[in-house]
């Protein structure tokens, strides 16, 4: 697994494991010095920008307290001393009970089918050799990638899987602000957000929340380009040492993510179709007629505009880094690039 050294001081090394990171921003929320930065969560999750979820400012203010590593629910941050990662019950990822399969498992494979991260595999599955109507084999869970969502346990017909979630919490979404851009759906590591099927004329909520699957990590709130989602962590569920102090800090509102990307355009490639202008959630929030496709009825757009037949970025700082514009562009004339963290 790839490891990125964020910072070093004497024998202590702060290490980031990008493949385990879910973009929740819990580490950023707990950092007492504001050294860690999260941004472009939607674009990173969608694979539309070449960067990681987490970066560091490198101002020298970090005191290597390891609070970031202690509250990370997936173990994506480590504090290594003399090259060895600290691991004890004061670290949430270590205190979490692992997701386990017991002897009642019939190796049906339902858990592997629904796992959002594809971290369950079946090995040597075969018909039983004793003539009975059952399957033999091994059901293996990659604990380094498990996000403790509980999908596997929910579908198991034999209740053979036990798990523990990292957080209890509250989820809310303002439908008046939400622009149904699906960034939250694409980002959610637990497949707890989705769009319902609907019939013509039926009114349904823009995004539906699966309460039982949610791990209240907050990645959706970090990714939402118009701040329509609020996730509050109300408790740390495992028996983590010193968790009361962490719970007080994490119960506060999480800061909005930093703008760690910049919108780039290619005027020569642009067709001037205006698709990006219409689908941009920041633009759409400013006027519902624009979201309905009335491209020219709003004189001043907050983020994207077509001028003289080509796309123009009106205000870089208004961007929510969701990359919805890039997804819809037919000629790849607009995209996101990494912005230096300051």
What pLDDT, on a 0 to 100 scale, did the predictor assign at position 192?
Answer: 98
Q: Does residue 180 come out as left (phi exceeding 0), alpha (psi in the -120 to 50 range) or beta?
A: left
Give strand pairing partners of 173. Answer: 229
Confidence at 22, pLDDT banded by 50, 70, 90:
very high
Q: CB-based contacts of 240: which residues, under 8 Å, 6+ apart?
A: 89, 90, 91, 92, 95, 246
**Which of 64-68, 199-203, 312-316, 328-332 comes out lowest in average pLDDT?**
199-203
Taking alpha carbons only, the member of 51, 4, 32, 26 closest to residue 260 is: 51
Q: Is the pLDDT of residue 293 over 80?
A: no
Which domains are delineated in the chain? Answer: 4-95 (3.30.70.20), 100-162 (3.30.70.20), 261-338 (3.30.70.20)
First and final CA of the chain: distance in angstroms? 28
3-state secondary structure of 236: strand
Q: CB-based contacts of 43: which residues, under 8 Å, 6+ apart?
A: 49, 261, 321, 322, 323, 326, 336
> pLDDT tens across 115-147, in order?
999 999 999 989 988 888 889 999 999 999 999
Confidence at 288, pLDDT banded by 50, 70, 90:
confident
DSSP 250: H
Q: Is the pLDDT of residue 267 over 80?
A: yes
- Region 25-42 average pLDDT: 96
What pLDDT, on a 0 to 100 scale, did the predictor assign at position 292?
Answer: 58
DSSP 118: -
Confidence at 287, pLDDT banded by 50, 70, 90:
confident
- Region 154-178 average pLDDT: 96
What pLDDT, on a 0 to 100 scale, did the predictor assign at position 298?
Answer: 63
Q: How far is CA 312 from the centre of its chain?
A: 29
Q: Is the pLDDT of residue 188 over 80?
A: yes
Query: In the predicted model, what is the mean pLDDT of the chain?
Result: 93
Which is higher by pLDDT, 133 or 62?
A: 62
Which is higher by pLDDT, 214 or 299?
A: 214
- Region 254-265 average pLDDT: 93
> Distances from the Cα of 92 to the Cαs of 30, 34, 82, 96, 112, in angstroms?
13, 20, 22, 6, 25
- Region 229-254 average pLDDT: 94
Look at the pTM and tell me if it is higher than 0.85: yes
The count of other CB atoms within 10 Å of the CB of residue 174 is 12
What pLDDT, on a 0 to 100 scale, did the predictor assign at position 253?
Answer: 83
**Is the distance from CB of 321 to CB of 261 less than 8 angstroms?**
yes
Secondary element (H or E) of residue 310: strand 310-313
> pLDDT tens across 295-341, in order?
666 667 889 999 899 999 999 999 999 999 999 999 999 999 999 88
What pLDDT, on a 0 to 100 scale, did the predictor assign at position 294?
Answer: 61
> pLDDT tens across 45-57, in order?
999 999 999 999 9
* Distant-in-sequence contacts of 249-253, Cβ < 8 A, 24+ apart: 249/29, 249/30, 250/26, 250/29, 250/30, 250/71, 250/167, 252/29
Dihedral in degrees, nearest 10, Cα atoms 95, 255, 51, 193: 70
Confidence at 1, pLDDT banded by 50, 70, 90:
confident
């Amino acid at each position: 697994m790839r490891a990125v050294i964020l910072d070093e001081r004497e024998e202590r090394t702060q290490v980031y494991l990008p493949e385990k990171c879910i973009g929740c921003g819990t580490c950023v929320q707990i950092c007492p010095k504001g050294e860690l930065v999260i941004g472009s969560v939607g674009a990173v999750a969608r694979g539309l920008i070449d960067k990681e979820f987490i970066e560091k400012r490198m101002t020298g203010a970090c005191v290597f307290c390891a609070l970031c590593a202690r509250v990370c629910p997936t173990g994506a941050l480590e504090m290594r001393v003399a090259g060895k990662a600290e691991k004890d019950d004061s670290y949430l990822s270590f205190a979490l009970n692992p997701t386990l399969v017991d002897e009642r498992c019939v190796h049906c494979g339902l858990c592997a089918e629904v796992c959002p991260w594809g971290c369950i595999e079946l090995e040597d599955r075969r018909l039983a050799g004793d003539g009975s109507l059952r399957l033999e084999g091994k059901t293996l869970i990659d604990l380094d990638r498990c996000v403790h969502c509980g999908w596997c346990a929910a579908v198991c017909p034999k209740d053979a899987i036990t798990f523990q979630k990292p957080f209890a919490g509250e989820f809310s979404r303002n439908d008046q602000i939400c622009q149904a851009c699906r960034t939250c759906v694409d980002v959610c590591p637990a497949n707890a957000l989705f769009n319902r099927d609907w019939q013509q004329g039926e009114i349904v909520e823009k995004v539906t929340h699966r309460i039982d699957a949610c791990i209240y990590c907050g990645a959706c709130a970090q990714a939402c380009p118009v701040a329509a989602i609020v996730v509050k962590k109300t408790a740390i569920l495992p028996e983590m040492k010193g968790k009361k102090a962490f719970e007080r800090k994490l119960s506060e509102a999480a800061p909005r993510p930093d703008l760690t990307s910049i919108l780039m355009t290619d005027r020569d490639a642009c067709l001037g179709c205006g698709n990006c202008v219409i689908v941009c959630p920041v633009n759409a929030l400013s006027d519902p007629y624009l979201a309905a496709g009335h491209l020219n009825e709003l004189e001043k757009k907050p983020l994207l505009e077509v001028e003289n037949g080509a796309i123009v970025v009106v205000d870089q700082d208004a961007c929510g880094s969701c990359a919805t514009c890039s997804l819809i562009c037919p000629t790849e004339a607009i995209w996101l690039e990494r912005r230096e963290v300051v």
